[in-house]
Amino acid sequence: MQTLDTFDWIAVGLYFLVLAGIAIWVIRKKQENTADYFLAGRNVGWFVVGASIFASNIGSEHVVGLAGAGAGNKLPMLIYEIQAWVVLILGWVFLPFYARSGVFTMPEFLEKRFDARSRWVLSVFSIIAYVLTKISVTIYAGGVVVSALLGIDFWTGALSTVILTGLYTVLGGMRAVVYTETLQAVMLVVGAAALTFIGLDEVGGWASMTETVTPEYLNMWRSASDPEFPWPSLLITSTIVGIWYWCTDQYIVQRALTARNIKEGRRGTIFGALLKLLPVFLFLIPGIIALTLKMRGELHWDSPDQAFPVLMSNLLPSGLRGLVAAGLLAALMSSLASVFNSCSTLFTVDIYKKLRPNTPEKQLVRTGQIATVFIVIIGIIWIPIMANISGVLYEYLQKVQSYIAPPITAVFLLGIFYKRINAQGAFITLMVGFIVGALRIVLELMKDSLDPDGFLFLLGDINFLTFAAWFFLFCVVLITVVSLMTSIPSKEKIFNLTFQTISPEEKANNKNSYNWVDVAVSILIIIIVAGVMLFFNGKSGFF
């Protein structure tokens, strides 16, 4: 791998100067209350909302992991990256309910729809899940990227990015996060697009690349009996995980809640969905290009997760290489900033404020800043543990998320679509769901020591996609049965929070918040998603 030269360092330096300028501009603005600090004063336009949603999602673990999936014969994982249609569900289905309820967090919404028990369970679980998945994986991937690009050791790279990102997140709050993410989204798209075009030119175009790896390699749809990626389970589970991640997870939804009104919020999600179509072309294809060059003996890497940084350092010219390096650093920092801020919001609003309801607004902001510092420290402690992760990073992430998503998706979906679902059903489903998910992870780790003919071995050995699909069905049945066997929720608890109880005024307000352009762009996005799904079928073309 080539290290960065003078022109590259100038490009990286310029990026950090602009980033520092934005951060300082935001930090100088007064942040006197929680709406300012955690939701940027609820005054953000659709472009910044959409760019922030995209930048939050595309962290360095996506860049490293998705390219690794392309280079490591894991193409079915592509389905998780073409879920732009699920981002539309956030704007068209869920966001009006969140906006109407005036909440800061997703656990807070569960308290309004159900009761305080569900809020406690989801907030505590979410913070633990963020530390174990998002923070740890992002820091690990960032350490790999930074050390590979800048020619420094893993520890220095990981520590410096965590501390720098933590600094502007603590001082600037959500406003610093969304505005720096807008710059980072632009940097990432420009840099990765340059690498894709130059890479395709290097391998002699799409047809030449397909000829080397064979059309069968570019098939995301494997048979229903495939041991790794059976297509029915893949389609169902990716949708369940998608709805959890895009429509109910604090990490993403918080960006939409910063919008100045429902119209700007929905347009932000539509713009975010449009940007979400890009990763297939910006990250997966470079992974396939890297594999093509390796098969031809023109490139070498040891692990598929190294494909993107190795390809970048060898193909791009001086200056542009620094720009893409800055884009990758941007991806890392935007993801870290998002998760730091989301954890701090969950802790302050759902735990601290709940325990001390009379705390002044300024004190809550200070608590949020201290919480962010603690989360940064926990992230640093996690670095040596995550340094031991091996295999394709992206697949690891999707596995863990497949065990977390089913109970949360079931509770939120049925909560707004079926007014008979009550607090008892939601609480029991969340508790049982989290216990079953944790049990599955433990059994998967220790399955070699279990009886091959026993039920526990079957539970730990069944394909993770198939397990998640059946797990979701179990959660849907559980929440429905428990709710029907217990009391009907009061009218106050469900008013304007389910589709059957929306008032005529709110229906009229919602109808006035979009026009034909919003509908047309949404339909176009769905058509493009269907086109990508048809194209990657293992044949030369669509059919």
Q: How many CB atoms lie within 10 A of CB 384?
A: 11
3-class DSSP state of 166: helix
The count of C-alpha atoms lying within 13 angstroms of the C-alpha of 369, restricted to the half-sphere facing its C-beta, is 20
The two tokens of residue 192 are 């990765």
Contact 136, 444 (CB under 8 A): no
Q: Which helix or strand (DSSP H or E) is residue 478 part of?
A: helix 464-485
Whole-angstrom distance, CA of residue 313 vs CA of residue 149: 7
pLDDT, position 452: 80
Whole-angstrom distance, CA of residue 161 vs CA of residue 27: 19
3-class DSSP state of 387: coil
Q: Which residues pair with 230 in a beta bridge?
A: 222
The two tokens of residue 11 are 């490009």
Give φ, ψ of 270 to 5 degrees.
-65, -40
Q: Which helix or strand (DSSP H or E) is residue 525 part of?
A: helix 516-535
Whole-angstrom distance, CA of residue 284 vs CA of residue 269: 23
Whole-angstrom distance, CA of residue 193 vs CA of residue 212: 22
pLDDT, position 518: 94
pLDDT in tens, the chain (543 residues): 566 778 888 888 888 788 778 777 776 765 555 655 555 556 678 888 888 888 777 766 677 777 877 888 778 877 877 888 999 999 999 999 998 888 888 988 999 999 999 999 998 888 877 776 777 777 776 776 677 666 777 677 777 777 777 776 676 666 666 777 777 777 777 878 888 899 999 999 888 998 888 888 888 888 888 888 898 999 999 999 999 989 998 878 888 888 888 899 999 999 999 988 888 778 888 888 988 998 888 888 777 777 887 888 888 888 888 877 777 776 677 777 777 777 888 888 888 888 888 888 788 878 887 887 887 787 777 666 655 544 445 566 667 788 889 999 999 999 999 999 999 999 999 999 999 988 888 887 787 777 787 788 888 888 889 999 999 999 999 999 999 999 999 888 899 899 999 999 989 988 888 899 999 999 999 999 998 888 887 665 544
Whole-angstrom distance, CA of residue 107 vs CA of residue 249: 9
- Alpha-helix runs per DSSP H in 302-422: 307-315, 320-345, 353-355, 361-386, 393-417
Q: Which helix or strand (DSSP H or E) is residue 107 part of?
A: helix 106-113
Whole-angstrom distance, CA of residue 36 vs CA of residue 39: 6
- Over its C-alpha atoms, the chain yields an Rg (Å, rounded) of 23
Going by C-alpha positions, the residue among 255, 233, 236, 238 that lies closest to residue 90 is 255
Residue with tokens 């709805």: 243
Residue 482: CB partners within 8 Å, gap ≥ 6? 424, 425, 428, 429
Contact 339, 130 (CB under 8 A): yes
pLDDT, position 240: 94
Going by C-alpha positions, the residue among 335, 22, 31, 57 that lies closest to residue 183 is 22
Contact 372, 344 (CB under 8 A): yes
Going by C-alpha positions, the residue among 153, 162, 127, 126 that lies closest to residue 382 is 162
Whole-angstrom distance, CA of residue 139 vs CA of residue 386: 8
3-class DSSP state of 51: helix
Q: Which residues pair with 259 in a beta bridge?
A: 44
Residue 296: CB partners within 8 Å, gap ≥ 6? 212
Task: Give DSSP secondary structure letters for 277-295.
Answer: TSHIIIIIHHHHHHHHHHH
The two tokens of residue 359 are 């705390």
The two tokens of residue 165 are 């990102």
Give φ, ψ of 308 to 5 degrees.
-65, -55
Q: How many CB atoms lie within 10 A of CB 4?
A: 19
Distances (CA, A) of 112 to 116, 273, 361, 531: 8, 28, 21, 40
